[in-house]
Structure 1
């Protein structure tokens, strides 16, 4: 098991190095443009060169990357070009907002999708059609339209929930819960539609296998077969789908945060990209890659626990 973990961590480290290096090389072509933007239209070549030298952007690109990587490994991701704020704490603050929406949505999605998928596969018939109909509705309704509709109903008309804004959990747990309720519902509906279909398909495949028929001939109750055997075997692919759903929700954060005016990771990345804030973009990239690595590692470990055969890959 330790060798399995070491292999997965090694792959993650190589991925992080490659992604950050590629992004750094791409951003290096815009160093001069960013320096001119900082100085304004009247910037002289000498002034531009001074900004490049002050930021260390006049050094060879690979040397700059090694310097940035060395500092990043020590927790120093530089400072923003425009705000002069440290990048690391700024990204963590924005990432906390985004994760406070995604994590509850993912947990609720996993529970509801598993229940719906197992119920649909085990019952069949009219129950299966109802479950598929629920999933289809989740597919057909665009997330943006759903978000606007929920805001109109619960925030504008009923005034139960705030339409925009975010309250940190540490300040007011009740206000925090109200501020994330609509975004979580939007992410959950789309997630359940996707995951329930995957769980249903895997459960149907498992319930058709020979070992299930053998267990039934031995008089083992259907619920025991489904929950103890079939669901465990179907759990490995479902976990992979769950990790992909997490990344999909993470990508949808930009739209959700813009609709609800949330100071999250997606809007922060979007604004930094528009401004050409190179240290912030690099920090966002590094944190994003690390998050993907952690999620994939957790998924691989869970798959290895559910299915020991997966550890040999």
Structure 2
């Protein structure tokens, strides 16, 4: 297990270095000039040139890249060109919002998907077909359309949950959860199908194994066999699918945050793109990349803990 963790950790540094380089290069290709945007259309060429010089935008791209990369090694992501606030501080308040929605959506996906997949595999027949059809329909529903429907039904018609806004977990855990219920469902529903399909395949395969017949012959109930043995042995691929679902959930949150007015990374990045605030864009992309790398590392560790054979592969 330790060897697996060390191998995965060793790959984080080159991956993040490549991501940082590509992020900087792509941001340089974004059309528009931050100085011109900040000063407005009435600014003269001299005023734009002076502002570009004060912000360091007139330096060669290689010099800007080396300074930015040097700052990363010291935990400095730069300063916002618009608000003059440190990028790390802006991300520090936005990342928990985005990660909260993505984590809750992943938990929702796992709970519903594993339950449906297990029921479909154990019951079979009409129940199996109905569950698989329902999971397929859930995968086809656009998250932004579902978000609007959830707001209309559960925030307007039936005012059960708030439609917009965010409350930090440290302020009120109950309010935090109530504000994220609708975004969680909107983001997580599309991931239920893949988890249900993978769970069904794994459970069906495990139910045909000899150890299941041996346990049944020893008097164990079918429910106990499925819950304590079959699901554990079938959970490896499900963990991988869930980790991929978390990555897709992060992308889905970008759109959902705008609908529910959540102050997350997606909202911050979209605002920065409109304002040509390049340090914020670079920092947000790096934050997303680091979260994805950490989630993949954790999924590998969990999969190895569930299936010891993975540790030596």
**TM-score, scaled relative to structure 1:** 0.89
In structure 2, the partner of 1:251 is 251
> Offset at 1:261?
1.5
Give the secondary structure class of the aligned counterpart of 2:169. Answer: coil
Give the secondary structure class of the aligned counterpart of 2:33. Answer: helix
In structure 2, the partner of 1:163 is 163
> Offset at 1:33?
2.4
Distance 2:146 2:13 in 1: 38
C-alpha change, 1:23 and 1:179, in structure 2 (3 Å) is same
Answer whether contact 1:32 1:52 (CA < 8 A) is retained: no
Distance 2:224 2:275 in 1: 57
> Offset at 1:279?
0.6
| Greater shift in the superposed pair: 180-189 or 15-24 | 180-189
> Offset at 1:90?
0.7
Answer whether contact 2:108 2:185 (CA < 8 A) is retained: no
Distance 2:26 2:145 in 1: 35
| Greater shift in the superposed pair: 19-28 or 190-199 | 190-199
Cα deviation per residue 1:189-228 (whole Å; 9 max; x = unaligned)? 2222331122112222222345545555666543344233
**Residues 39-118 of structure 1 mapped to structure 2, 5 A cutoff:** 39-41=39-41, 47-118=47-118
Distance 1:55 1:120 in 2: 60
Distance 2:249 2:30 in 1: 30
**TM-score, scaled relative to structure 2:** 0.89
> Offset at 1:74?
2.2
Give the secondary structure class of the aligned counterpart of 2:164. Answer: coil
> Offset at 1:242?
0.4
> Offset at 1:187?
2.4
Gapped regions of structure 1 (runs ≥ 5):
none
In structure 1, the partner of 2:14 is 14
Distance 1:48 1:286 in 2: 29
Give the secondary structure class of the aligned counterpart of 1:165. Answer: coil
**Residues 1-313 of structure 1 mapped to structure 2, 5 A cutoff:** 1-30=1-30, 33-41=33-41, 47-213=47-213, 215-216=215-216, 221-313=221-313
- After superposition, the CA RMSD in angstroms is 2.4
Distance 1:177 1:253 in 2: 16
Cα deviation per residue 1:24-61 (whole Å; 9 max; x = unaligned)? 12223459823333344455665555444433344443
C-alpha change, 1:71 and 1:160, in structure 2 (3 Å) is same
C-alpha change, 1:6 and 1:45, in structure 2 (3 Å) is farther
Distance 2:200 2:75 in 1: 44
Give the secondary structure class of the aligned counterpart of 1:79. Answer: coil
C-alpha change, 1:81 and 1:193, in structure 2 (3 Å) is same
What is the number of residues matched between the two proteins?
313
> Offset at 1:238?
0.4
